[in-house]
Amino acid sequence: MTLAELVTEMSKQYPSTVEISTRISYLNQGLSTLEDYFDNYAMATSTTVANQDEYALPTGIEDISQIYTFGIGNSATPANRYDYARYEASTVLDYPNVGNVYYQLTDSDGDKKIIVHPAPTTSGLPINIIYKKHYAELAWSTNTASPEFDSRYHILLVYYANHMIATTGHAPDTMQADMFMQKWLDGLNELTRKRARANVAHPKKARDNPQWHSGKRHVAGTTVPIVLE
C-alpha cells in the first residue's frame, strides 16, 4: 500500500477530522516499531588508511549495533565476497583486544567512530559492512511511496495509527482504541512467531553453548582441553 492508500484506509476504518500530518506521524511511529520484525539489510563500503584504526560511521549507520557483518579485504581487489578478513564486535572494555575486532567510541564532538583492531597496515583495502537499514520515513510529498517491508503487513500501520487517533483528543474513544490495539498486537505476535520459525530454519549465526567450553581453553581460534599438572 502506498502512503496515500494507507491514509485512505485509515479514514475508511475510522473516520475522523485529524490532519494528514498527524496521521503520517502516527504511521511513522508504527513503522519505527516494525523495523525490529523484518530483515532490511544494506551494504556500506569504505577503504582503509594505513595504520589508521579510527573510521567514521558510514551513511545510514547511526550506531554499530546496526552492524551485522564487518570485513576488510585481503587485497585491494578481493577475488570474491569471501576474500575478506572478518571482524567481530567487541567493546572498549575488552582490552587488550584479541583477534580481529571492532568497537565504537564517541569523540569530543559527539560523533561516533568505529575503531578496528588491529589497524590495517595497507591503504586502499575495501571495507564492507552489512548493516540493518532504518526504514525511510513516510512523507506526503512522496505519497505514492510504500513502506519498505512485506506489503502483507502494511495494514498493521493503519491499526496502530487509528489506535493513536482514537486514544487521544478531548474525548478518547477507548472501545475503538482497544480494538485497533488488539489488531496491532495480534499482527506483532504473528510476526514474532514467523521470525522465530525463520531463525530455527535459517539461523544467522552459528549455535554456541557455554557448556561446550567447560574445562577447556581457547588457543589460536581452536578449543583444547586443559591439562592439569
Contact 52, 122 (CB under 8 A): no
Q: What is the pLDDT of residues 106-128, one digit of tens each?
A: 988 889 999 999 999 999 999 99
Residue from 191, 198, 165, 193 nearest 180 by CA: 165
Largest CA distance in the chain: 80
pLDDT of residue 215: 55
pLDDT of residue 107: 87
219: β partners: 222
Contact 124, 48 (CB under 8 A): yes
% of residues, the chain, pLDDT over 70: 86
Would you give the distance in Å from CA 221 to the centre of its chain?
28
147 prior amide bond cis, ω within 30: no
pLDDT of residue 218: 46
Q: Is the pLDDT of residue 94 over 90?
A: no
Q: What is the pLDDT of residues 41-54, one digit of tens each?
A: 999 999 999 999 99
Residue 23, all three cell numbers: 496521521
Q: What is the pLDDT of residues 165-206, one digit of tens each?
A: 999 876 789 999 999 999 999 999 999 999 889 888 777 666
pLDDT of residue 209: 60
Q: Is the pLDDT of residue 9 over 50?
A: yes
pLDDT band, very low/low/confident/very high, at 220 (cuts 50, 70, 90)? very low
